[in-house]
Structure 1
């Protein structure tokens, strides 16, 4: 529920940390967390040439992402318990330690292990900043800063590949990791001095059982979606075991949370209708919005026969759609206080653009328009849902609320990738006859795009139950 209490500590938050330096430094933290995957991807060919391990290089990215997604809800709750500033600084230090170790790695196995450490740190960066903004500002004021997240995402997406290429060519691939160190040290020093937040109790109970079960469940989901149908057959013992784990572990987690004195994801949060709908719609948005991105790339190159560079230009339209729409929508939400229809319109656009993608004979020009609309759909819900969740959250639950909402979207993305991949493999007999025939790929991808439509419509129906609670000014 909305907390409207005013205390000296809260008033101090409103007066003290609103310096440009503190907020700008928080945006740098977000930039670092978003930049890393972009900058490392560019250097991977050089890394493989130096360290070898071609058969395992994908885990340089996969290990980082899985570790980060598993850490997100845990960091959110730890911030509620022990103070968000403390947790943010710890996550930055873990991220920097992982970055330094990656820069010194001598084998591919070492690099993968250190990337997991770096990913554990990265999981706390964005979610901690999100929660800190929620604590520093009222929901209405915070909407303005959510727009900055969108611009930061755009800047990281544009700067990452270029910066990664420059560092790799002019210096060495190790600098794509080591470059984080001087920036990170400055960030830590500025936040330690300039960021002022209310103190939390020195003693708090950590839900160890919940943390272990939740982390195991998230890892199981990510491994299942990564390995199923690719590294291992769907009927292999490993995939069957992971599938069982994906059912059993969440069930055990729910039981543990009901018994815990201070659970990682408090069950009482789901008594808030807005929070429950945000989690559900966020799951669908991740499923259809991010889960299908890899197949859009395949569609451009295999069906429309666009080159890598052309595909990059066309995909830029989608990225611009996400960034610009997210920024403009949050600015308008800040002015009006209303977020009600943004997720609904988002789901409508997801369904419409999926229908357009499934249309035979789509050319590059229409493809650009479709991808732009798809980006607009993603931009309309990304920040609106977060603001809706924050609006009805008590101050002491901000981290748990934002962490759970973010986790829901990430799990939706992972399951979406697996689900759409399964649909693609169902067309393997067709593709095997002529793997270079664009018509064969078009047939397989058409099935994927058609499947998006009913899922997006389910999200649309759920979003209609979202109450229009004006963003609080208190």
Structure 2
């Protein structure tokens, strides 16, 4: 391995990427397999849950099989990033992979819903390490321009996992058992472990490091509390209930304590000095807004398809697939362009501008809008989401010295995930109150219209309504969803303004395998 710290190596380097060796490609492909497993397991259980409940019971708890995984992964992100900076990324990656595989085996052997949820939390903690370590490893192996094309591979992996997850879960459940949804990770993970141990050549960091235990504990509590606040608020508890108010107050208190601890820690989990770099601070803002809007709004776009456009589940699934492909393709093209030009600042700018245009278009849309136009709006939204996804990861890498790559990537990814969690909750609160009022005004006590707890309408019920009633209902949903797009506009305009101040930068270090 050669390590380059000169200005030329760390800077723009050659405009023509150096050919990657077969060994390098094999290692990166193996790392992508690890990312695939981490992303796949956030979704693969969805189609297996009815069978899981049938075997283990716990209908009132089953949502935690997914929520626990996501919260565990979110809490682990910045911690793994910092541990990689302190002790070496290969070592931490291997540890997180082993934890993920052991938890996968335990999930497959679970005998009660409580056991499954507990093991899913541990599996989520392992998955957070897999994802953030791969981002940091690529950042250590390559400069940001050369590494941009490998970040583009993550986009393809994300799309593949999103599309394959529910389908693969259903196939494994039908052909074998729901337990194979978890057991399938073991042979793939074993191959990943072997290749990484044998072929990935990154330095360990044997120097004595002081772990910020107080920071780790406080950050974990804050992330869990914030996720619970976002997930429970307006759903399980009213926003003004004691439980939600206590969560909100507790979250603010713990975050305040965390910041105070970070100011004094020798090796803080999230070094506050990173925010002295204006580009880093802007990237964190853009990541939060990108998660809040780009992923937080996704469920409501699906709701629009099924209730306002009146597409059935299968057809709306096709449109959602087209949207996800737009995310993947635009993200991949964005990463390739950054690798070729070295400039990333225009990508989040264009992303926020397209988000604003999409919001305006949906504000003018309704039941009379053609399916073709609606699909066009959805694809535009997907392009906007993809343009900031990998571009911001690459931008974050460019602000990091070699000692801070993990902390930078962990913080950036955490901000996007927190934005997503809060976006889902905020948009739900915004829509549901208006929906309830609209349904009461238009339908009163009409028992033919049954609204599910999450605000969605049963497709079977929708199909049984008369044409005038369906149009009336579609109008109610369109009116209820418009405030979501109204609020989206100032958010993405803030992001657009922030993106204008983002500067292209060069990384401080560059490392090759």
TM-score, normalization: structure 2?
Answer: 0.88
1:459 is matched with 495
Distance change in 2, residues 1:473/1:395 (3 Å): closer
Q: Structure 2 CA distance, aligned partners of 1:470 and 1:391? A: 6
Q: Any conservation in 1 of the 2:91–2:204 contact (CA below 8 Å)? A: no
Paired residues for 1:331-342 under 5 Å? 331-342=336-347
* Structure 1 residues 344 and 109, CA gap change in structure 2 (3 angstroms): same
Q: 1:169 corresponds to which residue?
A: 174
Q: Give the aligned partner of residue 398 of structure 2.
A: 391
Tell me, which stretches of 5 or more residues in structure 1 are unaligned?
A: none
Instruction: Confirm or deny that 1:345 pairs with 2:350.
Output: yes
Are 1:306 and 2:314 matched, yes or no? no
Aligned to 2:154: 149
Which of 465, 468, 483 is the aligned partner of 1:447? 483
* 8 Å CA contact 1:315, 1:368 repeated in 2: no
Aligned counterparts of 1:18 and 1:463: Cα–Cα separation in 2: 37
Any idea what SS the aligned residue of 1:19 has? Answer: helix
Instruction: Within 5 Å, give how 1:22-171 maps onto structure 2.
Output: 22-171=27-176
Give 1:161 deviation, angstroms.
Answer: 2.2
Report the alpha carbon displacement of residue 254 of structure 1 after superposing the two structures with TM. Answer: 0.6
The residue that corresponds to 2:439 in the other structure is 431
Tell me the equivalent position of 1:274: 279
Following the alignment from structure 1 to structure 2, what is the Cα–Cα distance between the partners of residues 350 and 321? 14
* Compared CA separation, residues 86 and 470, structure 1 to 2 (3 A): closer
Of 364, 367, 379, which residue of structure 1 is paired with 2:374? 367
Output the CA distance in 2 between the equivalents of 1:432 and 1:200. Answer: 63
CA distance in 1 between counterparts of 2:377 and 2:328 reads 16
* Alignment partner, residue 470 of structure 2: none
Alignment of 1:233-248 (within 5 A): 233-248=238-253
The 3 A distance-change label for structure 1 pair 162 and 410 is same
CA contact (8 A) 1:17 1:197 kept: no
Residue by residue over 1:80-137, the C-alpha shift from the partner in whole angstroms, topping out at 9 and shown as x without a partner, is 0111001001111111111111101111111111111111111101110000000011
Give distance in 1, aligned partners of 2:222 and 2:21.
40
Aligned equivalents of 1:400, 1:250: Cα separation in 2? 17
Q: Give distance in 1, aligned partners of 2:156 and 2:376.
A: 21
Q: Say if 1:338 and 1:470, in contact at 8 Å, map to a contact too.
A: no
Q: Kindly state the Cα deviation for residue 201 of structure 1 after the two structures are TM-superposed.
A: 2.3
Shift of residue 17, structure 1, vs aligned partner: 9.7
After superposition, the C-alpha distances for 1:208-227 in whole angstroms (9 at most, x for unaligned) are 11111111111111000100
C-alpha displacement of 1:15: 10
Q: 1:432 Cα shift?
A: 4.1
Q: CA deviation digits over 1:297-353, x for unaligned, max 9?
A: 111112221111111011111101100011111111101111111001100111111
CA distance in 1: counterparts of 2:316 and 2:335, whole angstroms: 29
Tell me if structure 2 keeps the 8 A contact 1:139–1:473.
no
Query: Is 1:417 aligned with 2:417?
Result: no
- TM-score with structure 1 setting the length: 0.95
Which residue number in structure 2 is paired with residue 196 of structure 1? 201
CA contact (8 A) 1:30 1:149 kept: yes
- Computing the radius of gyration over CA atoms, which structure comes out larger, 1 or 2? 2
* Structure 2 spans left out of the alignment, 5+ residues: 11-18, 444-448, 451-472
Q: Distance in 1 between matches of 2:439 and 2:405?
A: 48
Q: CA deviation at 1:449?
A: 1.4
**Contact residue 16 and residue 196 of structure 1 kept, 8 A:** no
CA RMSD of aligned residues (A): 2.0
Tell me if the contact between 1:220 and 1:242 (Cα under 8 Å) persists in the aligned partners.
yes
* Contact 1:99 1:114 (8 Å CA) reproduced: yes
2:440 paired with 1:404: no
1:51 shift after superposition: 1.7
CA deviations on 1:223-251 (whole Å, 9 max, x unpaired) are 00100111111121111111102211111
**Offset at residue 276 of structure 1 (A):** 0.7
d(CA) in 2 for partners of 1:4, 1:178:
42
Shift, 1:159, TM fit: 2.0
Distance, in Å, in 2 between the alignment partners of 1:459 and 1:4 is: 34
- Looking at structure 2, the residues matched to 267 and 472 of structure 1 have their Cα atoms a distance apart, in angstroms, of 18
Task: Report deviation, 1:273.
Answer: 1.2
Q: Which residue of 1 aligns with 2:15?
A: none
